[in-house]
Amino acid sequence: MDDGIRQKLDALIHDSGEDYSSVSRLLGRNPAYIQQFIKRGSPRKLAEQDRMKLAAYFRVSEEALGGRPAAPTQGLERLATVPRIEIRASAGPGGAADIEERGVPMGFDPALLRDLGVRRSSALSVIRVSGDSMEPTLRDGDDILVDRAVSAVRSGAIHIVRIDDMIMVKRLVREGEYLIVRSDNPAYADIRMQKQRALDVVGRVLWCGRRLV
């Protein structure tokens, strides 16, 4: 790959306020990967998957980063970038959190988001689960996609909720006049609330991803 492509990527990183290590983590690479590519020319060219993620994140064509020009008939959609909130939503007893802090985003196929019922991708966030109270459905360290445009409770679905300034990921179940805040792990007791009192629905969980070990 010629120096012009490396210079282009270097400028995109600088203009976005990112750094080499954060962009390397976006690709799932070691922190020095992008710096070595730009400064040392190693690897000689970007892997196709890496180029696709970078193009989607920086909102440029793959051709600008050394890819082939897209054929007019392909009609492929760019990945939708979803901000990652570094603050951990607790799946345990609960933990105080400021949900506004943002980290390196993730890319999602727009077709997948439509299948999940997303209407406004700008209202999506990725949050990392902490704790074991939602096992086996959600595990500690899982990334979950949350639709913050959804504030209504869907009985039986998993939601991000705020209770007394605590952020938790729980399953919400309606039982008569009560709203049950339930953990999938039977070791944790239900929380019974009358008519959603003192409970704020931050959003509904639509998808989860985890690293296999």
What is the value of pTM for the model shown? 0.60
Q: Are residues 89 and 177 in the same domain?
A: yes
135: CATH: 2.10.109.10
Tokens encoding 141: 């360290």
Per-residue confidence (pLDDT) for residue 90, from 0 to 100 = 57
Per-residue confidence (pLDDT) for residue 16, from 0 to 100 = 82
CA-to-CA distance for 92 and 45, rounded, in angstroms? 44
CA-to-CA distance for 65 and 27, rounded, in angstroms? 15
How many structural domains comprise the chain?
Answer: 2
Q: Are residues 55 and 86 in the same domain?
A: no
Give me the average pLDDT of each 10-residue run along the chain (213 residues).
Answer: 81 87 88 90 86 84 77 59 71 54 78 90 89 93 92 92 86 91 95 78 92 72
**In this structure, is residue 75 part of a structural domain?**
no
Per-residue confidence (pLDDT) for residue 166, from 0 to 100 = 82
Domain that holds residue 24: 3-65
Phi, psi values for residue 212, rounded to 5°: -85, 135
Q: Are residues 162 and 61 in the same domain?
A: no
